[in-house]
Amino acid sequence: MTAPAQAFSSRPDRIVGIGAVFVAVLPLSTDIVLVALPVIAGSFGTALAGGHQIMSVFVIGLAVAHLFVGALADRFGRRPVALAGFGLYTLASLAAMGAPSLEALLVARFVQGLSGACGPILMRAMVRDTVAPAATSRRLALTGTLSGVAPLLAPTVGILVAQAFGWQSSFAVLTLYGAITFVLVFWLMPETLAARSAAVNYISLDVVRSLFTERGFLFGSFAMAMGYGGLFAWISTGSYFLSTRTGLDPLVISLVFAAGSLCFMLGGVVAMRLHVAPEQTIRLGAMIGATGGFLALILALAFPDQPWFCVPIMLFYCSWGIIQPPAINIAMRHHPGIAGKASALLGLVQLGGGVMLSWIVVALGAGPFSLGLMLVSTAAILLATQFTRRPRA
């Protein structure tokens, strides 16, 4: 391990703090605009489909970046890639703020996702660089819990600034976040990569084959894709569903999403407290999520103009906080030599699966179908745990 990496690993609070700032870029970039989506889409003369595009094109950019960000991080190091990524993210956020058309906004959002992907990719790689495998799940859970502060505040901040200064102000907040993170990386982040690759080795078919033939990576990536699919289908259509079907005020809707983020954080705390095998933790989370999805769907169908279904949705948020850390651990624990590529491919599967599942929900008309996907996705994860056994020591 290099001297910088040793210094970094001796300060667990620093890797947790910077990792939380990094991974928060994803939920912050989505949650700060999700409640204002009807306003943004309406200003460009579109509705549900346009609003969903504003969300999904960002996630597509995130997914595409996973094809090369990990390889660049393995070749040039974590710190240079972080500087380049957050510098570009700041510029893309600035472009989104001044977008004159929906098409220009979509391009800016794609670049936002493309550059912002360095956050979650580098967080996972830095944890793998500096943390022993046995402690990885708890460290990831702590990082995810701290990063949950951003989506906890983002929906309310987003709608308040949008109502006061226009929807462009939401992207002004993201511009500021990108700039602050760039400065944070420049001044406080040392390098954690012990040995850099001799060349830029992008994800090859051989790497893909080796990862997807390993049971742990296959199961972990499946759990990540299904869990995020259920979440993204809800957050990309939920504001429309709540405003048109239940008539809730936008500020109240923002509090619903903020409450969801709080439950996600609580789920991360539960994941940290559990001292069982990662597979058992995922099984517990999936049971909680399937219960929440089932109850939410029943209430939405029984009381279509009432927001009672929002209560059991909180169980799904909690389940995602429980499932995510051990799923990442299971997927990456046997691939230390290609941690960057494994992290990248894991993110690609998670985000790509999430977008594809959300498209199905939008094609069906959103509404209760997004709640049904919560049930189906977590039930699928629960079923998959029955075919996954903890590797022998």
Q: What rounded mean pLDDT belongs to the chain? A: 83
Residue 151 pLDDT greater than 80, yes or no: no
What percentage of the chain exceeds 70 in pLDDT? 89
Residue 333 pLDDT greater than 80, yes or no: yes
pLDDT at 108: 97
Q: At what angle do helices 339-363 and 310-332 cross, to 10 degrees?
A: 150
**Which residue in 389, 393, 23 sits closest to 219, CA to CA?**
389
pLDDT at 249: 87
197 Cβ neighbours under 8 A, 6+ residues apart: 71, 74, 75
Among 59-68, 125-134, 147-156, name the one with the lowest average pLDDT. 125-134
pLDDT at 219: 92
Tracing tokens 């995602």 back to the chain, one arrives at: 320
Contact 382, 207 (CB under 8 A): no
Q: For the residues 13-34, what does the mean pLDDT come to?
A: 82
Residue 2 pLDDT greater than 60, yes or no: no
Q: What is the helix, strand, coil percentage profile of the chain, to 5?
A: 80, 0, 20
pLDDT at 137: 65
Kindly list the structural domains of the chain, giving each domain's residue range(s) and its CATH number in brackets, ordered by start. Answer: 3-188+203-385 (1.20.1250.20)
Kindly report, residue by residue over 351-393, the tens digit of the pLDDT: 888 888 888 877 776 667 778 878 888 888 888 887 765 544 4
Residue 311 pLDDT greater than 90, yes or no: yes
Q: For the residues 62-75, what does the mean pLDDT come to?
A: 85
pLDDT at 82: 92
Residue 341 pLDDT greater than 80, yes or no: no
- CA separation for the pair 83, 107 (Å, rounded): 21
Among 47-51, 106-110, 211-215, 281-285, name the one with the lowest average pLDDT. 47-51
Residue 8 pLDDT greater than 60, yes or no: no
Residue 135 pLDDT greater than 80, yes or no: no
